[in-house]
């Protein structure tokens, strides 16, 4: 974990993501990069230095003030007590947030994304999805999404939810790094549903084989029965008061996503706990 990317809109959830990124960067001696996008309409011709062009006089004045205020907020964020202990960099760009965040992730040499999310529900979730959900679906590196307060204790109890049929090699390496850094206990979890059921004995056999193959120690083996995988993961997390949920996502988009959905993306939207995901669809 060498370089952590943290897009921020300066919201409460984004600030919680900064907290999480701070603990990770401190533990792994990683660079921590804060990134903000000033959203603009297609005709706006400003650059981040404030050079105008393309808008009306009123629009030009508004954007000059917005750029100045955003730079001030970023300076204040970088100056947050504690962040001086780690290597922090920052940048601000103007344009479409989703596009610029995706481009930055692809070109910045990052090894993890940490970002806040408010989550979505109902028709908005179906038609739009959250910014964090879009990043989870497209990023080719692990993504940690955060809604609420995070401290070092968050990383000490980790639920790794899976069917344990596929290897999940890339993500389990992230879990092992977290476990070593924070002295964490890892709870391997398989949720049985009516449409995807195997016996407890078979489930635990798969988990023990998985742990052995990946050299995973200090872990527990758990089976939870529920009608929906997402609910089973969240109820189990509540029962044991876990700090972090971890699982892979298939990264489907479009009609395929509407048909099958994604448990990981549902957790990003609905879980109050941080969720670490890795896209297995490259």
Per-residue pLDDT of 142-151, as tens digits, reads 999 999 999 9
* Whether residue 21 has pLDDT greater than 90: yes
Nearest one of 203, 117, 131, 167 to 280, comparing CA atoms: 167
Report the C-alpha gap between 196 and 50 in whole angstroms: 56
What average pLDDT does the segment 14-31 reach?
95
Pairing state between β 3-7 and 112-116:
parallel
User: Could you give the residue range(s) of every CATH 3.40.50.620 domain in the chain?
Assistant: 3-116, 152-279
Report the C-alpha gap between 163 and 176 in whole angstroms: 18
Nearest one of 113, 98, 157, 99 to 18, comparing CA atoms: 113
The H or E element that residue 33 is part of is: strand 31-39
Per-residue pLDDT band at 212 (split at 50, 70, 90): very high
For the chain, what is the mean pLDDT?
85
Q: DSSP assignment of 152-205, as one string?
A: GGGGGEEEEE--SSS--HHHHHHHHHHHHHHT-EEEEEEEEBTTB---HHHHHH
Q: pLDDT, tens digit, for every residue of 102-128? A: 999 999 999 999 999 885 443 333 333
Burial of 193 (0-12, 13-18, 19+ CB in 10 A): middle
Token pair recorded at residue 69: 């205020």
Per-residue pLDDT band at 280 (split at 50, 70, 90): confident
* Whether residue 54 has pLDDT greater than 90: no
Q: DSSP assignment of 98-160, as one string?
A: HHHHHHHHHHTT-SEEEEE-----HHHHHHT--HHHHHHHH-SS-EEEE-S---GGGGGEEEE
Tell the CATH topology of 3-116: Rossmann fold (3.40.50)
Burial of 264 (0-12, 13-18, 19+ CB in 10 A): buried
Q: For residue 5, what pLDDT is reported?
A: 97
Asked if 113 and 106 touch (Cβ cutoff 8 Å), the reply is no
Asked if 67 and 46 touch (Cβ cutoff 8 Å), the reply is yes
What average pLDDT does the segment 36-65 reach?
67
Report the C-alpha gap between 103 and 97 in whole angstroms: 10
pTM beyond 0.85: the answer is yes
Map residue 236 onto helix, strand or coil. helix
| CATH classification number, 152-279, choose in 3.40.50.12710, 3.40.718.10, 3.40.50.300, 3.40.50.620 | 3.40.50.620
Token pair recorded at residue 113: 């994304």
Asked if 262 and 158 touch (Cβ cutoff 8 Å), the reply is no
Report the C-alpha gap between 282 and 259 in whole angstroms: 20
Instruction: Select the more confidently predicted residue: 84 or 42.
Output: 84
Report the C-alpha gap between 269 and 265 in whole angstroms: 6
Residues 6+ apart with CB under 8 A from 105: 5, 113, 135, 139, 140, 141
What average pLDDT does the segment 232-247 reach?
95
Pairing state between β 157-161 and 185-192:
parallel
């Amino acid at each position: 974990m060498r370089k952590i990317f943290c897009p921020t809109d300066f919201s409460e959830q984004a600030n919680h993501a900064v907290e999480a990124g701070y603990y990770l960067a401190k533990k792994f001696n990683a660079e921590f990069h804060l990134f903000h996008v000033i959203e603009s309409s297609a005709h706006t011709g400003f650059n981040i230095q404030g050079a105008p062009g393309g808008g009306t006089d009123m629009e030009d004045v508004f954007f000059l003030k917005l750029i100045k205020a955003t730079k001030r907020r970023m300076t204040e964020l970088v100056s947050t007590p504690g962040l001086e202990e780690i290597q922090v960099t920052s940048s601000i760009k103007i344009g479409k947030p989703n596009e610029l965040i995706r481009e930055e992730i692809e070109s910045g040499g990052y090894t993890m994304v940490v970002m806040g999310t408010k989550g979505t529900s109902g028709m908005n979730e179906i038609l739009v999805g959250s910014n964090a959900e879009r990043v989870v679906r497209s990023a080719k590196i692990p993504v940690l999404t955060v809604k609420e307060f995070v401290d070092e204790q968050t990383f000490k109890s980790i639920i790794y939810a899976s069917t344990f049929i596929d290897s999940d090699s890339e993500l389990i390496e992230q879990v092992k790094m977290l476990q070593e850094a924070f002295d964490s206990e890892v709870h391997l979890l398989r949720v049985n549903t009516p449409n995807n059921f195997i016996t407890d004995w078979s489930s635990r056999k798969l988990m023990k084989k998985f742990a052995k193959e990946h050299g995973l120690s200090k872990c527990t083996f758990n089976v939870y029965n529920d009608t929906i995988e997402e609910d089973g993961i969240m109820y189990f997390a509540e029962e044991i008061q876990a700090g972090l949920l971890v699982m892979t996502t298939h990264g489907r988009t479009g009609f395929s996503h509407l048909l099958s959905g994604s448990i990981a993306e549902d957790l990003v939207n609905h879980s109050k706990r941080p969720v670490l995901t890795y896209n297995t669809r490259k």
